[in-house]
A and B are shown apart, each in its own frame.
Chain A
Amino acid sequence: MWSINRFPIAWLLPALLPVAFITIYPIAHALWTSLHQVMILFPVEPFVGLDNYKRVVTSDYFLDALRNSLLFTAIAAPSVVILGVAIALFLQRRFFGSQVIRSIVLLPWVLPGAISAVLWVWVFHPSFGVLNGLLLNLGLIDESIPWLTSPKLALYAVVVAHVWTQIPFAVVLVMAALASINSEVLEAGEIDCRSPYKRFRHIVFPEIKAMVVVLLVYNALTAFTSYDLVYAMTGGGPGTATTLLSFQIWRESFSMYDFGAGSAVAFIVVLISAVLIIAITRALPSDLFAKEEAS
């Protein structure tokens, strides 16, 4: 009588309530804050309509930050997915020491963001960095490259660090997707087609496509909302070279103590994220997001 088919909402309520409390309430609160003047030093919080948004959008950092965030996302998300798939395909093979290499690949996952940042600061360090040392020793460059202090290079350096931290998760998910393919299907492919590339394109990829789309969406969001690496590696600089929109949420709120403006930036990030999700799932339709086919 009280079956889940007849009263789905009642059965889902225990699961939905906490979700509502930790997601919908904060978002609603952020929306409210973005429409009010909320500054820590002023006890009154008057309604200001879209003033916060206006101020944020017309500020001198906004366009730079938006461009940086979009560029960051556009490079980082596909890189994570492509490298993740490539590494997963490689690690799927069994060879001497493959178990050890699997563990090493997963290592960045267990490091907290701040520690990864410190690690990469040392890799890119102009005087003591491993990268410059290596390039100098190989004779590829004559003098150290200021990776993190050059306005042209800093964003890319942060992208590299970000991609490095995100790859393990992508590798694990793609390996799981690869492992779920029927091995006889792969063997049938071997008999039907000689080229490993064509086999990947026509047989393997369609099988992992749903996972690839999920990873792409996930990584677009992670990249678009990433701020810990930027905070720890460059602090948004030099100038506004690595200032990301998500970083500005933090800066407006906790550096300027203007929570109204911070929430306005946050809301803009949410809206753009929503657009990104829709764009990616539309561009790469997969079974996961498609409506059930009548069979």
Chain B
Amino acid sequence: MASVELEQVSKSFGKTEVIKDMSLAIKERELVVFVGPSGCGKSTLLRLIAGLEEMSAGTLRIGGKVMNQTPAADRGVAMVFQSYALYPHMTVAENMGFALKMIGTPKAEIDRKVAEAAEILDLGDLLQRKPRQLSGGQRQRVAIGRAIVRKPDVFLFDEPLSNLDAELRARMRVEIARLHKELKTTMIYVTHDQVEAMTLADRIVLLNKGRIEQQGAPLDLYEAPANRFVAGFLGQPRMNFIAVAAVPDMSGVTREAFTLGLRPDAIEILDGPRPGAVPGRIIVVEQLGTSTLLHVQLAGVADLVTVEWRGKAAHKAGGDVWLGLDPAKGHLFAADGRRLAL
């Protein structure tokens, strides 16, 4: 295990700056998730750490040692790729033992380490198979096994679950969390899936356009987003944003125009009109079993407002409804996106 430090790191492809003057410290044994929309630079950042791309500026340290010019193979990292990237002509066992073979490890030791990793990942029966004879989930386990066998200081995961179906993805997510507990190794995990980020991370680093928008424990980001982008990215279903015009309040002071951000579960469905309630018309009802999502059109609000109702709601599409929008349960954002104090 090792710490990873980035100091004022930049990366440009031609004239496009993908990573902008980024500094970040990852502690030993930490599982850090880089998350963000596509094109935010999260995969590039991971590839800079792996040594698959060269930094344009800045310093990278792994385990305290500067690694700027160190070849990928000497950085003590192992990477799991989105496409699994198994060597097609090698068996599972050969795939897993390849890195050790390349540094001249004795065969008996390779076999022992491969068997160990196969045991952890339940791959024992598949060792003599070729990658094309495996299912997607098995291939991904082999890819993880190949990384484990090397006993790396840092594990790098580049969207490892994106090619799997939903059920398998949920299972592998748990498996990766378990692995992190067992191996006690530093892990950096890239995903665009905020559910993976929320469930796996010790710390989320939320990236946007080559910069860090916010970093911290998953629930800290969820409950105290630094700005509108973070608030909108984390949370499923997405937070509702309702523009509020500048009007004088009861004391006569005019606040600047702002956006009210309310999570779908923070909006109340009322029995009838009462002070502060807003009328709306239900456009779409989504029954999810444990909860129901109502998509409601409010007068003067362009986007539909999503409301999450615990349990099965009797509401029907086309019906009218009163919603209680309590700013105290949400967040206020200024026009530039930064969060305002309530």
Contact = CB atoms under 8 A, between A and B. Distances in A.
A192 B73 CA distance: 6
Given A192-B102, A193-B99, A187 B87 contact: no
Given A198-B102, A207-B89, A295-B133, A191 B72 contact: yes
A194 B73 contact: yes
- Count class of interface residues, chain A: 10 to 19
B292 interface: no
Nearest to A199: B102
B283 to A, nearest CB: 43
A184 interface: yes
Nearest to B131: A185
Interface in A155-192: 182, 184-185, 187-192
Contacts of A282: none
Interface stretch (B78-86, B264-272, B322-330): B78-86
Interface residues of B, number: 26
Interface in B48-87: 50-52, 71-74, 77-79, 81-87
B98 interface: yes
Contacts of A198: 102
Contacts of B102: 192-195, 198, 202
Interface in B93-114: 98-99, 102
Contact of B85 (A188, A194, A206, A295): A188
A190 B77 CA distance: 11
Given A190-B73, A191-B79, A193-B73, A184 B85 contact: yes
B88 interface: yes
B73 A185 contact: no
B102 to A, nearest CB: 4
A194 B51 CA distance: 12
Contacts of A189: 87
Contacts of A203: 87
B312 interface: no
Contacts of B82: 184
Given A182-B85, A185-B87, A207-B88, A192 B99 contact: yes
A22 to B, nearest CB: 37
Contact of B52 (A182, A190, A195, A202): A190
A191 B46 CA distance: 13
B71 A194 contact: yes
B304 to A, nearest CB: 40
Interface in A12-33: none
Nearest to A186: B85
Nearest to B152: A191
Contacts of B50: 187, 191
A151 B98 CA distance: 51
Given A191-B50, A194-B74, A185 B86 contact: yes
B184 interface: no
Contact of B79 (A182, A188, A207, A295): A188
B98 A184 contact: no
B132 interface: yes
Interface string B132-161: 110000000000001000100000000000
Interface in A198-219: 198, 202-203, 206-207
25 contacts: A182-B83, A184-B81, A184-B84, A185-B86, A185-B87, A185-B88, A187-B72, A187-B79, A188-B146, A190-B51, A191-B51, A191-B52, A191-B73, A191-B77, A191-B78, A191-B79, A191-B99, A192-B73, A192-B98, A192-B102, A192-B146, A194-B71, A194-B73, A206-B87, A207-B89
Interface of B: 50-52, 71-74, 77-79, 81-89, 98-99, 102, 132-133, 146, 150
Given A184-B84, A194-B71, 8 more contacts: A184-B85, A185-B86, A187-B52, A187-B85, A188-B87, A191-B99, A192-B73, A192-B98
What are the 3 tightest A-B residue pairs by CB atom distance, in nearest-first order?
A184-B85, A194-B73, A192-B99
